[in-house]
Amino acid sequence: MNKKPRLPEIIGLLKKSYPGAECSLDHKDPFQLLIATILSAQCTDERVNKVTPALFKKYPGAAAMAAAPPADLEKLVHSTGFYKNKALSLKEASKAITGKFGGEVPRTMEELLTLRGVARKTANVVLGSAYGIAAGVVVDTHVKRLAFRLGLTKETDPEKIERDLMKALPKSGWIWFSHALVLHGRAVCGARTPLCGDCPLKKLCPRAGVTPP
């Protein structure tokens, strides 16, 4: 099945279902979004949103978090999993923001990727949702799964999937599209039991009615 003719239809149907799709991580500024996205690795956004209020109340900015005792950060983020590595990433990224970037979260992909705990997914989330900069397409587990099921990519590597989506999508849709796929993945196209009968994309999906391996 040719993916190109279907993509405008897929976008149209997703826009009807998720017109205001946006990042589901609670945040008030770019720094909070960066920290929340680092914590979201192999963790649900729902869990992160339960953890961050106490974290940001105690350490509201980069300078405060850079000076935080590691053990305290570990305790605060423990329930997000991999808490030792995540606490270290929060502290080191905050140090870099304070020392190298004047206390401001960077606005470029290249600079963001120098921060500990930040790969392209996290950088794209921050650039897109905090600054409105479409530098790429966020590829998390939901986007990876749905892009493959919809026939928008044959790749399994997130960066290769991102390249395919960037080529296929208009740049104006890069930010919104990934958030819409995340919402659709949570609500309808689950990993184990996709609800194909309830899916607005079922007539366009080559995997409709088939539970993938």
The CA distance from 22 to 189, in Å, is 18
The CA distance from 1 to 101, in Å, is 47
| Known catalytic residue at 154 | no
β strands within the chain, DSSP E: none
**Catalytically annotated residue among 86, 91, 121, 144:** 121
- The secondary structure of 185-199, three-state, reads HHHCCCCCCCCHHHC
**Catalytically annotated residue among 72, 140, 171, 202:** 140
| Known catalytic residue at 50 | no
In degrees and rounded to multiples of 5, residue 69 shows phi and psi of -65, 130
Q: Specify the 3-state DSSP secondary structure of 142.
A: helix
Residue 4 CA: distances (Å) to CA of 61, 112, 128, 170, 205: 44, 32, 24, 12, 13
The residues annotated as belonging to the active site are 121, 140
